[in-house]
Amino acid sequence: MVEKQKPTIKSWDNLLDNYLKATELTQEPYEILVHAVDVGLNRKEEPYMRLEVHYNKKKYIFDLNKTNQRFLKDNGIEAPEDVVDKILVLTLVKATDPNTRKEVDSIRIKEIKATH
């Protein structure tokens, strides 16, 4: 589970979430290290899976879509918690945004690596 730290008035840290977006992926190979996982229900009572990851020495939140969740399950991740301490290799693809129906850059997981 992703642990939230209490924000303070002395820093922006822990106040603003930094979500991993396709535009953040600038240095190949696109490999992220998973530090924590969180699952639950959103405001619409739909299940979600969120990873706390590091890429390029920065911490990000990576919300997994159903395609990426299915990839993890189909490639040996028995339970969401098992993705912690794994390296995920990403690729950029074009996908249709379900809200706008426009083609946008999207992130797909293409490989899972062990850290040791």
* HSE-up (13 A, CA, CB side) for residue 23: 3
Residue 80 lies in a domain: yes
- Cis omega (within 30 of 0) for bond into 7: no
Q: What is the dihedral of CA 88, 91, 92, 94, to 10 degrees?
A: -110
Q: Residue 19: count other Cβ atoms within 10 Å of its Cβ.
A: 11
Give me the domain span that covers residue 51: 22-114
Q: pLDDT tens digit string along 16-73? A: 678 999 988 988 889 999 999 999 998 999 999 999 999 988 999 999 999 999 999 9
Residue 86 lies in a domain: yes
Residue 28 lies in a domain: yes
pTM to 2 decimal places: 0.82
Domain with residue 54: its CATH number is 2.40.50
User: Taking a C-beta distance cutoff of 8 angstroms, is the pair 109, 90 a contact?
Assistant: yes
What confidence score (pLDDT) does residue 115 get?
Answer: 84
| Count of structural domains within the chain | 1
Residue 3 lies in a domain: no
Residue 15 lies in a domain: no
What confidence score (pLDDT) does residue 16 get?
Answer: 62
What confidence score (pLDDT) does residue 9 get?
Answer: 67
